[in-house]
Amino acid sequence: MKYILMMNATKANFDMYAQWSKEDLQRNVAFMRAFSKELKDSGVFVATEGLGWPNEARIVRAGRDGEPITDGVFAESKEFLAGYWIVDVESPDQACKIAARVSAAPGPGGTAASMPIEVRQVLTSFTDLGI
């Protein structure tokens, strides 16, 4: 069963993160790298991506002739996807345990950041279907 673990954050959360001390950021990034390696070593790793910052996000709709109309204004409450991991596990519980590990990634001063991680099972992708 494949699950996606999503880290979502508001722009204010991102701004706070950007103000962490260099030491705190390095500790957090080191954890994320070790975490990905651990997922790979244990054979559950499928994919991971980190996304660019919210100030570069654009919302796109099609205009009358199909041309893109872009907008970069968002509600303050909007949750931006910061990054995700896809894991192939035996049970939803295993996915939640892995999510709890990443949620406990070190934050300021090395204490667990306890970020909420959204967990959802993924569907078969077009790519999986060979399309």
Partner 1 sequence: MKYILLMAGTKAGVDNYRAWTKKDIDTHMAGLKSLVIDLRESGELVADQGLTGPEEAIVVCGQKEGMPVTDGIFPESKEFLLGYWIVDVATPERAYALAARLSTVPGPGGAPTNMPIEVRELASHPLNWS
Local structure of residue 52 (DSSP, 8 states): P
Q: How far is the CB of 18 from partner 1 (least distance, A)?
A: 10
- Residues 5, 117: contact at Cβ < 8 Å? yes
Q: How far is the CB of 74 from partner 1 (least distance, A)?
A: 9
- Residues 16, 89: contact at Cβ < 8 Å? no
Q: How far is the CB of 79 from partner 1 (least distance, A)?
A: 7
Q: What are phi and psi of 75, to 5 degrees?
A: -65, 145
Binding site for partner 1 (CB under 8 A): 4-6, 25, 29, 32-33, 35-36, 47-53, 56-63, 66-70, 77-81, 83, 86, 92, 96-97, 99-104, 111-112, 114-127, 131
Q: Report the distance separating Cα 114 and Cα 122, nearest Å.
A: 24
Q: Which is nearer to partner 1, 43 or 77 (CB)?
A: 77
